[in-house]
């Protein structure tokens, strides 16, 4: 879809654009001077949960995540909202409050925004952040030998879909909401402090969709250990009931042929790795010699992380064992 | 769901995942020896239906219909 635009905006005409539509990543990056680069990103979506405050908080955490996934820190945000006239204004107020609280928690500021009327609600943020131009975290920065680390468990696609159909346990939904509301701030800061180079966040394309983007951009083979991948409570049961959302099914259809799965993995297990995530964790490539320090720093921040695989070779590919 | 003596038709066209898969599971539980035919209109839905059916021990054969939709024939 963006191909015609690439011809209009040639790299030589915008030499300070470090990441744009010519080399898509989690956000656009524009070099301001030798010390600073601007990270610029936006994301919005339809409701994933019932509670308006939670919906706003999740939408904000999700949008802010793109800045962390580029190795930066958010500076300011603009609200984007489409909202039906038939719903009371207080509901939108709660959504915006959820977003604002997360922006504040991220150490950034809400500086404005725009709301339009629409049948189905949609909210999100446009976020500007800052990073040192030499310290970008990109999909293309993975090196063979790096450990593959995930900072949130998988399953929000299955759980929110089960919840929409009234088939989910309340505790499972609450757990998923807590994970989705969690900022990737500590993970992003740890990645920046340790000078990591390879990373992205896990969202709509699922773990393996985003891992594939990294494998392709970095030209490495990623080996994923299924048993090491963390899942939220209830997820395996919802998978067994066939409650995978459309996004997960599309991911599977789009990517599964490019991925080499061990024969003992069943279809549900493969699908789980494609589950479309909302506000998922960071997927980071950590050089082996930094792994201990990475785990310690995450623990210090009160955050979890899981080593789910490693980069093993110089050919773009994914093996799941 | 329309019924004929020997087959059970589930029209899941226009439905997004996981609805077709859920309807397929329901139909399987009510099949009582009949063949099932599931109609869907996209590949992701097709794959989801086949996955659910195969897991329940059924065999699935998809075919494209004249109007570009997908008919999946499920047999035990």
What's the pLDDT score for residue B44?
A: 86
Domains within chain B, CATH numbers bracketed: 2-75 (3.30.110.40)
The token duo for A236 is: 């395996």
Cβ pair B2, B9 in contact under 8 A: yes
Please say if the pLDDT value at position A25 is more than 90. Answer: no
Give the residue with greater pLDDT, B65 vs A70.
A70
Please say if the pLDDT value at position A68 is more than 70. Answer: yes
User: What's the pLDDT tens digit per position in A156-165?
Assistant: 999 999 999 8
Of residues B22, B43, B55, nearest to A253 (C-beta): B43
Please say if the pLDDT value at position B2 is more than 70. Answer: no
Q: List CB contacts (< 8 A) between A248 and chain B.
A: 17
The CATH number of A147-320 is: 3.90.650.10
What's the pLDDT score for residue A170?
A: 97
Mutation to test the A interface, candidates B23, B48, B58, most A Cβ within 10 Å: B48
Pick from B43, B25, B40: nearest CA to A250: B43
Of residues B17, B25, B55, nearest to A246 (C-beta): B17
What's the pLDDT score for residue A78?
A: 98
What's the pLDDT score for residue A9?
A: 85
User: What's the pLDDT tens digit per position in A238-272?
Assistant: 999 999 999 999 999 999 999 999 999 999 999 99
Average pLDDT of chain B, as a whole number: 88
> Mapping DSSP to helix (H, G, I), strand (E, B) and coil, where does residue A223 land?
strand
The domain locations on chain A are 3-131, 147-320
For residue B4, give how far its alpha carbon lies from the nearest alpha carbon of chain A (Å). Answer: 26
Task: List all residues of chain B from 48 to 67 with a beta carbon under 8 Å from chain A.
Answer: 48, 51-52, 54-55
Average pLDDT of chain A, as a whole number: 96
Task: List the A109-117 sheet strands across, edge first.
Answer: A17-19, A28-31, A37-45, A122-131, A73-83, A109-117
CB contact under 8 A, A242 and B16: no
Of residues A242, A252, A253, nearest to B18 (C-beta): A242
CATH architecture assigned to A3-131:
2-Layer Sandwich (3.30)
ipTM over 0.90: no
User: What's the pLDDT tens digit per position in A266-318?
Assistant: 999 999 999 999 999 999 999 999 999 999 999 999 999 999 999 999 999 99
Of residues A243, A250, A253, nearest to B18 (C-beta): A243
Exposed e or buried b per residue across A179-208, where buried means at least 16 C-beta atoms within 10 angstroms of its C-beta: bbbbbbbbbbbbbbeeebbbbbbbbbbbbb
């Amino acid at each position: 879809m963006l191909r015609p635009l690439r011809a209009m905006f040639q790299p030589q005409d915008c030499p300070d654009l470090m990441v744009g539509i010519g080399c898509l990543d989690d956000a656009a990056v524009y070099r301001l001077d030798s010390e600073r680069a601007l990270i610029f990103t936006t994301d919005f979506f339809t409701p994933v949960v019932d509670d308006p405050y939670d919906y706003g908080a999740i939408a904000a955490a999700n949008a802010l995540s793109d800045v962390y996934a580029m190795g930066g820190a958010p500076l300011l945000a603009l609200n984007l909202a489409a909202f039906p006239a038939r719903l009371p204004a207080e509901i939108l107020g709660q959504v915006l409050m959820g977003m604002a609280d997360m922006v504040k928690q991220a150490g950034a500021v809400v500086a404005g925004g725009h709301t339009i009327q629409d049948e189905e609600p949609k909210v999100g943020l446009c976020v500007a952040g800052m990073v040192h131009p030499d310290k970008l975290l990109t999909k293309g920065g993975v090196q063979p030998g790096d450990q593959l680390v995930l900072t949130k468990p998988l399953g929000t696609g299955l759980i929110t879909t089960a919840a929409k159909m009234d088939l989910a346990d309340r505790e499972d939904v609450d757990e998923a909401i807590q994970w989705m509301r969690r900022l990737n701030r500590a993970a992003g800061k740890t990645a920046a402090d340790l000078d990591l180079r390879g990373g992205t966040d896990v969202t709509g394309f699922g773990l393996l969709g985003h891992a594939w983007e990294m494998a392709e951009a970095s030209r490495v083979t990623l080996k994923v250990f299924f048993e090491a991948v963390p899942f939220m409570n209830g997820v395996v049961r919802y998978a067994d009931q066939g409650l995978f959302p459309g996004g997960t099914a599309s991911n599977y259809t789009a990517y599964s042929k490019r991925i080499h799965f061990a024969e003992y993995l069943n279809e549900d297990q493969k699908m789980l790795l494609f589950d479309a995530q909302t506000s998922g964790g960071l997927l980071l490539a950590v050089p082996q010699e930094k792994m201990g320090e990475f785990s310690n720093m995450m623990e210090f921040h009160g955050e979890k992380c899981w080593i789910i695989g490693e980069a093993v070779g110089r050919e773009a590919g994914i093996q799941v064992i | 769901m329309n019924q004929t003596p020997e087959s059970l038709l589930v029209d899941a066209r226009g439905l997004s995942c996981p609805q077709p898969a859920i309807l397929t599971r329901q139909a399987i539980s009510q099949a009582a020896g009949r063949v099932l035919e599931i109609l869907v209109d996209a590949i992701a839905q097709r794959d989801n239906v086949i996955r659910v059916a195969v897991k329940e021990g059924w065999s699935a054969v998809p075919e494209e219909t004249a109007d570009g939709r997908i008919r999946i024939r499920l047999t035990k």
